[in-house]
Copies of this chain bind each other. A is one copy, B any other.
Amino acid sequence: MTSVSTEPRDTDGPTPATPPTGGSAAQRERRRRILDATIALAAEGGFDAVQMRAVAEHAEVALGTLYRYFPSKIHLLVSALAREFTKDVERSAVRATPGDTAHERIMYVLNRRTRALQKQPKLTEALVRAFMFADQSVTGEIHEVGTSLTTVIARAMHGTPTLGEVTEEEAAIIRIISDVWLSALISWVTGRMDAEDVEKSIDVAVRLLLR
């Protein structure tokens, strides 16, 4: 966790942060192996266990290559989070969310995601802490995560897998719900809330916002 506070410029060649798409098949394959290794190590030992040398070894790439694909440990972990969230979004596009009211549907998607995260506490700790620690240089990846989250909530709010118009007020409400969810997740990761508290705090927020 050093440097890069104000000057993100470097001798960048071809891959500023190696986007998921593009590159040769071998490169996409390497990228996949790296992210898989990241998830595996994080799931087993959390943030501290995701050591760059270990990731490189596990993914069978050289350390330098790892850094060419992901310029820092934080980029790496946030990218892993972005990949997981993107998968969820694709899944949520398939069919309508169950629930009769917006409240029920939002709680359904958020609780489902929350419980999935809680099943892998170490992984969640790693991803959430990386997300929270990210600085300016990770804007792109962070934005990707934020977009996924708001998309899923917006779909749940409307109850349809396709997204119609979202009013200004709805967008504001969705942003607040995201904030509360993230905040609750942090509290859970750091042991200041238990699983029940998380669900309850989101439920209260949704109720207050959707009345």
Contact = CB atoms under 8 A, between A and B. Distances in A.
Contacts of A186: 132
A110 to B, nearest CB: 14
Contacts of A173: 208
A182 to B, nearest CB: 7
What is the count of identical protomers in the complex?
2
Interface residues of A, number: 41
Contacts of A129: 133, 135
Contacts of A138: 190
Chain A interface helix/strand/loop/mixed: helix
A46 interface: yes
Nearest to A200: B172
Interface in A155-194: 169, 172-173, 175-176, 178-180, 182-184, 186, 189-192
Interface of A: 1-3, 5-6, 45-48, 125, 129, 132-136, 138-139, 142-143, 169, 172-173, 175-176, 178-180, 182-184, 186, 189-192, 201, 204-205, 208-209
A135 B46 CA distance: 12
